[in-house]
Structure 1
Amino acid sequence: MQKFPDLSETDMAVYQVHVTTPSLSACQISELLGLPVERVEEAKEMLRTAQLLQPALGDGWVAVSPDTAADILLADAEQAMLDQNSQIAAVRARLGTWTVAYLEARSMRSVKDRIEVIEGIDGIRAVIDDLARTCEKSIDAMVPGGGQSVRAIKAAIPLDLATLERGVAIRTLFQHAARNHRATTQYAETICAGGAQVRSTSLLPSRMLIYDDAAAVIPLDQENTAAGAVVIRDPAVLRLLSHLFTSHWERAIDFAAYDRQEDNKPTDLELAVLRLMAAGKKDEAIARQIGLSGRSTSRVIAGIMERLEATNRFQAGVRATLKGWLP
């Protein structure tokens, strides 16, 4: 796909003349707009590159709508995307035929190994990915220390949002120190918008993940979590770990509570949504731009409306401006 030209206000003026009076020559447009003929010809060339001017049946050029120009300009790229999506769907379908065999083997492993040792970071990631994608009810995460690495956060967000979309409940416990890490704070905001619950407390004993109260993952070495992990499926040990998580969860506070108590300002995510709302964007467009599902975006918007005590978007914009949230 060719690069879209950087159109100016002059190009726009020439385009509008072509829309209203298609028969005018470059000289006539030059006189009408008070522009040099060379600038008019340059604008017409820019418009042709943007597909906004198309050859007329007889002679000259005719202006077309931006939607038509987009169809012409993006046709090849959209076809390439369609072909790529078809290939992706075919690969998924072929791999899907292996699902029954995989689940059967996995269930046999779960019954056999109540305590399983996983070595190496790649093995740990594979197990966590497997448990996250196959759990059905809940994921409880205990994350000690301060902020998490940006790389780990980027990898976690799409998996967590997809898990929430399946209706799986996610509860995540951080330490208060994580509040000072911007990327971790944004991660908490993002998954909360997707329906997760995130809290923080002063101290946590261990990194831990519990899936459906049926499997737990804890590191072999708390100081070097990449060295290996233990997957626990023993019911007695799981009950103990679930009780440990619950006791810390009940004493923790909402991750955003401190910020809200300070000045009740909106989060970065809420500010982004507010700006898009003020720009007149619909829910679907907002969801695409912030990278959330439609349901999660609606939840964020509803929360904003409730905080502003607004009954419509215009009223929300006015009140957000009065509060100094919007310029």
Structure 2
Amino acid sequence: MTDPLATELDAAAVRVYQLRVTHPTDLASQLASRAGLSREQVSEAEDKLATLGLIQRSPSGGWVAISPESAAETLIAPMERDILQRRIAMAATRERLHTLSGDYLEARSMRSAKSSIEIVEGIDNIRAVIDDLVRTCVSTLHVLISGGGQSEAGIRAALPLDLELRSRGVEIHAVFLHSARRHRATAQYMDALSGAGAHVRCTGILPSRMQIYDGECALLPLDPKDPQAGVSIVRDPSVLSFLGQLFAHCWAQSTPFPEEERPTAQGPTGTERQVLLLMASGRTNEEIAGRLGISQRSVSRTVAQLMERLQAANRFQAGVRATQLGWLS
């Protein structure tokens, strides 16, 4: 079935429409003669006009031309009703979900009981937990990153979260192994963290991977050799106190990560800088446009200009390069 909205009117169809307004009872052959078209062209034009509701069959035969306003109302009104019904359904669904906010906060407070140690398995569940902890972190994040070179997939997942924390003023202290500096992607990640204002150091030995959020919650791997095996979420005060002392010991034994000299090229300002910050934190063009109240076309143009200035092949490289230049500090 032909989609009316996909129907295009060419010059022949417009001419036939004009003639149907003035000669509603003409046969197709007569209309063809007036328009200088073949009968096949007239029939094709009339099919297009009928699809859009611009002409209708009359009881006495022939075609009757309908005003464009009436045709548009007939064609679009059902779609507008459907859109309205969908908006109402979306609003109702949003309201139902929002009513669960109190239950979520209550359950979260129960989960956060000081004596709790929770086990989380499965990479998707682990990422969901980390996303939640990042959203609620307000002051500090202390990290031990064992294993030397990190996977590029892991870096792509971690860097936007780190930049989001820095944009909120959260102090990040991260300790890597010395060997991580010899891994290109990890060295770029370390430099990106430093450029964003995080405190990055290196050491020769680390006991395990560890993340401590606000001194109130820690993530430890169930199997240090397999980060995807699962994590334990620790909120017990005595265990957190020990982990805090362990991190302090590792930090004291580490040395500052040597940052590369950064060019002093003038960074972006105004809307361009806001776009860069949101782009670096992993936001899509649509999300950036919504946050800044500008069109997606403007966002796409700004992103393209930034990537050209940064000589970046993708958004991840652009984020790394921007931090190297000090544009995200």
2:188 counterpart SS class? helix
Q: Which amino acid aligns with 2:257?
A: F
Gapped runs of 5+ residues in structure 2? Answer: 1-90, 282-321
Matching residue of 1:300: 326
How far apart are 1:191 and its partner, in Å?
A: 2.3
Change (3 A) 1:285 1:126: closer
Q: How does 1:105-144 map to 2 (within 5 A)?
A: 105-111=107-113, 114-144=116-146
> Is the CA contact (8 Å cut-off) linking 1:116 and 1:231 kept in structure 2?
yes
1:204 counterpart SS class? coil
Matching residue of 2:242: 240
Deviations 1:130-175 (A, max 9, x none): 1111122111110012111111111111111111222211111100
Q: How does 1:157-172 map to 2 (within 5 A)?
A: 157-172=159-174
2:129 counterpart SS class? helix
Deviations 1:279-304 (A, max 9, x none): x96576467568559xx97993699x
In 2, the alpha carbon distance for the partners of 1:285 and 1:112 equals: 44
Deviations 1:8-61 (A, max 9, x none): xxxxxxxxxxxxxxxxxxxxxxxxxxxxxxxxxxxxxxxxxxxxxxxxxxxxxx
2:252 counterpart SS class? helix
1:131 counterpart SS class? helix
Matching residue of 1:229: 231
> Is the CA contact (8 Å cut-off) linking 1:138 and 1:170 kept in structure 2?
yes
Change (3 A) 1:286 1:247: same
In 2, the alpha carbon distance for the partners of 1:180 and 1:283 equals: 37
Gapped runs of 5+ residues in structure 1? Answer: 1-89, 304-327
Matching residue of 2:178: 176
Matching residue of 2:301: none
> RMSD in angstroms over aligned alpha carbons?
3.4
In 1, the alpha carbon distance for the partners of 2:180 and 2:186 equals: 7
> With structure 1 as the length reference, what TM-score do the two structures score?
0.53
Matching residue of 2:214: 212
Change (3 A) 1:170 1:112: closer
Change (3 A) 1:281 1:97: same
In 2, the alpha carbon distance for the partners of 1:187 and 1:298 equals: 10
> With structure 2 as the length reference, what TM-score do the two structures score?
0.53
In 1, the alpha carbon distance for the partners of 2:116 and 2:218 equals: 10
> Is the CA contact (8 Å cut-off) linking 2:217 and 2:234 kept in structure 1?
yes
2:147 counterpart SS class? coil
Q: How does 1:41-56 map to 2 (within 5 A)?
A: none
Change (3 A) 1:132 1:282: closer
Q: How does 1:1-327 map to 2 (within 5 A)?
A: 98-111=100-113, 114-256=116-258, 266=261, 270-271=262-263, 274-275=264-265, 277=266, 282=269, 285=272, 288=275, 300=326
Matching residue of 2:286: none
2:176 counterpart SS class? strand
In 2, the alpha carbon distance for the partners of 1:302 and 1:161 equals: 8
1:111 counterpart SS class? coil
In 1, the alpha carbon distance for the partners of 2:157 and 2:217 equals: 21
Q: Which amino acid aligns with 1:129?
A: D
Percent identity between matched residues is: 45
In 2, the alpha carbon distance for the partners of 1:209 and 1:108 equals: 21
Q: Which amino acid aligns with 1:117?
A: I
> Is the CA contact (8 Å cut-off) linking 1:287 and 1:297 kept in structure 2?
no
Deviations 1:204-259 (A, max 9, x none): 01001111111111011111121111111110010000000011112211112xxx
In 2, the alpha carbon distance for the partners of 1:162 and 1:199 equals: 20
Q: Which amino acid aligns with 1:300?
A: G
> Is the CA contact (8 Å cut-off) linking 2:195 and 2:324 kept in structure 1?
no
> Is the CA contact (8 Å cut-off) linking 1:283 and 1:297 kept in structure 2?
no
In 2, the alpha carbon distance for the partners of 1:193 and 1:96 equals: 38
Change (3 A) 1:102 1:251: same
In 2, the alpha carbon distance for the partners of 1:101 and 1:299 equals: 45
Q: Which amino acid aligns with 1:151?
A: A
How far apart are 1:105 and its partner, in Å?
A: 1.0
How far apart are 1:195 and its partner, in Å?
A: 2.1
1:239 counterpart SS class? helix
